[in-house]
Amino acid sequence: MRQLRRFLAVACAVLGLPALAFAQQTATITGQVTSVGGLPLASAQVYLVGMNIGGLTQSDGTYSLTVPAAQATGQQATITARLIGYKQDSARITLAAGHITQDFRLTSSPVQLQEVVVTALGQVQKKSQLGTAVQEVSSEQLNSTHAQNVINQLDGKVAGVTITGAGTQGGSTHIVIRGSNSVNGDNQPLFIVDGVPASNTDILGGGSANGGHDFGSVISDLNPDDIATITVLKGPNAAALYGSRAANGVVLITTKHGAATGGQIQTQLSTSLTWDKPSILPKYQNEYGQGAGGMFKFVDGAGGGIQDFNDQSYGPRLSGQLIDQFTGAQQPWVAHPNNVYSYFNTGQTFDGTLAFSGGTDRANARISLGAQNVNGYIPNNTFRKLTGSLSGAVKVGQHLSANANIQVINNKGHNQPGVGYNTGVLEQFIWFGRQVDLAPLKARQYQADGSLFNWNYNFHNNPYYLQYDNPITTDRNNVIASASATWQFNDWLNASLVSGVNSWNEPVNENFAQGNINYADPNYDGGFNLYQLSNTEQNSRLTLNADRDLTSRLALNASAGAARDYSEYSEKSQRTAGISVPGIYNVSNAAITPTLGQDLRRQQINSVYGSASLTWDNWWTVEGTARNDWSSTLPKATNSYFYPSFNTSIILTNALPGLKSNVLSYLKLRGGIARVGAAADPYSLLTTYNGQSDKFGSLPQYTLSNNIANANLKPELTTSTEVGAEMEFFNGRGSLDMSWYNKSTKNQVINLTVAPSSGFSQTAINAGEIQNKGIEALVTVVPVQLASGFQWTSTFNFARNKSKVVSLYRGLDRYRLGGAWSLDNEARVGESYGDLYGYALRRDSATGELLLRGGLPQKAKTRTVLGNIQPDWVGGWNNEFRYKNVSLSALLDIHRGGSVFSISNMFGQYSGVFRETLRGRENDWDDPGIVLKGIDQSTGAANATRVTAEQYFQSLFEIHEPFIYDDSYIKLRELRVGFNFPQRWAGYLHASSASIAFVGRNLWTHTKLPNIDPEFSYTTGNVQGMEFAALPNPKSFGVNLRITP
Partner 1 sequence: MTMKTIRLATTVTAGFALAATVAACNTDLTGLNQDPNNPTDAPAGALFTNAVNSAVGRWLGGGYSLRATEFTSQQIAEAQYPDEDRYARLQGSDTDGWFTGPYTNDLEDLRKIIAKGQATKDAGVYGPAMVMQSWDFGYLTDTWGDVPYTDALMGDSTGGSLAPKYDTQKSIYTGLFTALSNAVKAMSGGQVNGLAGADPLYGGDLGEWEKFANSLHARYAMRIVNVDPATADKELKAAFSAPGGVFTSNADNALLAWPGDGVNDNPWADNFKTRDDHRMSKVLMDILVANKDPRTGIFAQPVADSSLYPGGYGGMPNGLSTSAAGTYLAVASRPGAIFWPGNTSAGFYGSAANLATPSYLMTYAELSFIKAEAAERSMGGLSPSQAKGFYNDAITASLEQWGVTDPAAISAFLAQPGIVFQGNGSGGAGDPGLKQIALQKWVALFTDGGQAWFEWRRTCQPSAVVAGPAATISFVPRRYEYSTTEGTVNEANLDAAIADQGPDNFGTRVWWDTKPTVAPTYVSASVCAGNNGK
Within 344-373, the residues that bind partner 1 by CB under 8 A are: none
Q: Is 1015:1033 a contact under the CB 8 Å cutoff?
A: yes
Per DSSP, the three-state class of 47 is strand
**Residues from 900 through 929 that contact partner 1 (CB under 8 A):** none
Contact letters for partner 1, residues 749-778 (x by CB under 8 A):
----xxxxxxxxx-x---------------
Q: Kindly state the smallest distance separating residue 340's Cβ from partner 1, in Å.
A: 22
Q: Which span (166-174, 333-341, 688-696, 1024-1032) binds partner 1, by CB under 8 A?
A: 688-696
How far, in Å, CA of 910 to CA of 466, rounded? Answer: 24
Q: Is 364:358 a contact under the CB 8 Å cutoff?
A: yes
- Closer residue to partner 1, CB minimum distance, 47 or 431: 431
683 binding partner 1? (CB under 8 A): yes
Q: Which of 14, 21, 686, 941 binds partner 1 (CB under 8 A)?
A: 686
608 binding partner 1? (CB under 8 A): yes
Q: Is residue 549 exposed (0-12), middle (13-18) or buried (19+ Cβ within 10 Å)?
A: exposed
Q: Is 504:476 a contact under the CB 8 Å cutoff?
A: yes
**Residues from 951 through 1010 that contact partner 1 (CB under 8 A):** 951, 954, 957-958
Contact letters for partner 1, residues 303-332 (x by CB under 8 A):
xxxxx-xx-x-x------------------
Which residues touch 527 (CB under 8 Å, ≥6 apart)? 511, 512, 516, 519, 520, 521, 575, 576, 577, 578, 579
**Residues from 866 through 895 that contact partner 1 (CB under 8 A):** none
689 binding partner 1? (CB under 8 A): yes
Q: Which span (142-150, 244-252, 267-275, 697-705) binds partner 1, by CB under 8 A?
A: 697-705
H or E segment and range at residue 903 = helix 903-910
685 binding partner 1? (CB under 8 A): yes
Q: Is 362:18 a contact under the CB 8 Å cutoff?
A: no
- Closer residue to partner 1, CB minimum distance, 853 or 946: 853
**Residues from 143 through 182 that contact partner 1 (CB under 8 A):** none
How far, in Å, CA of 313 to CA of 908, rounded? Answer: 10
558 binding partner 1? (CB under 8 A): no
- Closer residue to partner 1, CB minimum distance, 85 or 293: 293
Pairing verdict, β 964-966 and 935-936: unpaired
DSSP 158-217: STTEEEE--SSTT---EEEESS---SSS--PPEEEETTEEE--PPGGG--BTTB-B----
510 binding partner 1? (CB under 8 A): no
Sign of the four-CA dihedral 196, 200, 205, 206: positive
807 binding partner 1? (CB under 8 A): no
How far, in Å, CA of 904 to CA of 430, rounded? Answer: 7
822 binding partner 1? (CB under 8 A): yes
Q: Kindly state the smallest distance separating residue 516's Cβ from partner 1, in Å.
A: 10
Q: Which span (239-247, 348-356, 606-614, 733-741) binds partner 1, by CB under 8 A?
A: 606-614
- Closer residue to partner 1, CB minimum distance, 109 or 545: 545
- Closer residue to partner 1, CB minimum distance, 496 or 1036: 496
Q: Which of 40, 515, 1032, 1038 binds partner 1 (CB under 8 A)?
A: 515
Q: Is residue 996 exposed (0-12), middle (13-18) or buried (19+ Cβ within 10 Å)?
A: middle
CA distances in angstroms from 895 to 30, 149, 680, listed in the order given: 50, 20, 33
Q: Which span (333-341, 475-483, 695-703, 732-740) binds partner 1, by CB under 8 A?
A: 695-703
- Closer residue to partner 1, CB minimum distance, 19 or 755: 755
- Closer residue to partner 1, CB minimum distance, 662 or 758: 758
Determine the residue type at 388. G
Q: Which span (9-17, 353-361, 560-568, 641-649) binds partner 1, by CB under 8 A?
A: 560-568
Distance of alpha carbon 178 from the chain centroid: 14
> ω before 635 within 30° of 0 (cis)?
no
Q: Kindly state the smallest distance separating residue 920's Cβ from partner 1, in Å.
A: 14
812 binding partner 1? (CB under 8 A): yes
524 binding partner 1? (CB under 8 A): yes
How far, in Å, CA of 365 to CA of 384, rounded? Answer: 27
Q: Which of 230, 577, 805, 906 binds partner 1 (CB under 8 A)?
A: 577
- Closer residue to partner 1, CB minimum distance, 728 or 826: 826
How far, in Å, CA of 267 to CA of 475, rounded? Answer: 30
Q: Which of 396, 562, 659, 664 binds partner 1 (CB under 8 A)?
A: 562
**Residues from 840 through 859 that contact partner 1 (CB under 8 A):** 853, 858-859
699 binding partner 1? (CB under 8 A): yes
816 binding partner 1? (CB under 8 A): yes
**Residues from 31 through 50 that contact partner 1 (CB under 8 A):** none
Per DSSP, the three-state class of 818 is strand
Judged by CB under 8 A, the number of residues near partner 1 is 106
814 binding partner 1? (CB under 8 A): yes
52 binding partner 1? (CB under 8 A): no
In DSSP terms, 477 is beta-bridged to: 410, 505
512 binding partner 1? (CB under 8 A): no
Q: Which of 61, 282, 578, 1000 binds partner 1 (CB under 8 A)?
A: 578
Q: Kindly state the smallest distance separating residue 304's Cβ from partner 1, in Å.
A: 5
Q: Is 203:474 a contact under the CB 8 Å cutoff?
A: yes
Report residue 122: phi and psi, to 5°.
Answer: 75, 10
- Closer residue to partner 1, CB minimum distance, 321 or 701: 701
- With residues binned 3-state (H G I as helix, E B as strand, rest as coil), the percentages for the chain, rounded to 5, are 10, 50, 35
Which has the closest alpha carbon to 948: 314, 312, 431, 318? 314
Q: Is residue 794 exposed (0-12), middle (13-18) or buried (19+ Cβ within 10 Å)?
A: middle
How far, in Å, CA of 858 to CA of 867, rounded? Answer: 19
690 binding partner 1? (CB under 8 A): yes
**Residues from 621 through 640 that contact partner 1 (CB under 8 A):** 628, 630-633, 635-636, 639-640
Q: Kindly state the smallest distance separating residue 807's Cβ from partner 1, in Å.
A: 16
DSSP designation for 681: P
Burial 756-785 (b: 16+ CB within 10 A, else e): eeeebebbbbbbbbbbbbbbbbbbbbbeeb
How far, in Å, CA of 753 to CA of 812, rounded? Answer: 10
3-state secondary structure 763-793: EEEEEEEEEEEEEEEEEEEEEEECCCCCEEE
Q: Kindly state the smallest distance separating residue 292's Cβ from partner 1, in Å.
A: 4
544 binding partner 1? (CB under 8 A): yes
**Residues from 707 through 736 that contact partner 1 (CB under 8 A):** 708
- Closer residue to partner 1, CB minimum distance, 121 or 269: 121
Please calculate the CA angle 326-328-334 and round it to the nearest 5 degrees. 70
**Residues from 441 through 500 that contact partner 1 (CB under 8 A):** 457-458, 489-490, 493, 495
**Residues from 108 through 147 that contact partner 1 (CB under 8 A):** none
Q: Which of 1, 13, 69, 299 binds partner 1 (CB under 8 A)?
A: 299
Q: Which of 97, 228, 560, 655 binds partner 1 (CB under 8 A)?
A: 560
**Residues from 273 through 292 that contact partner 1 (CB under 8 A):** 292
Q: Which of 950, 961, 967, 974 binds partner 1 (CB under 8 A)?
A: 950
521 binding partner 1? (CB under 8 A): yes
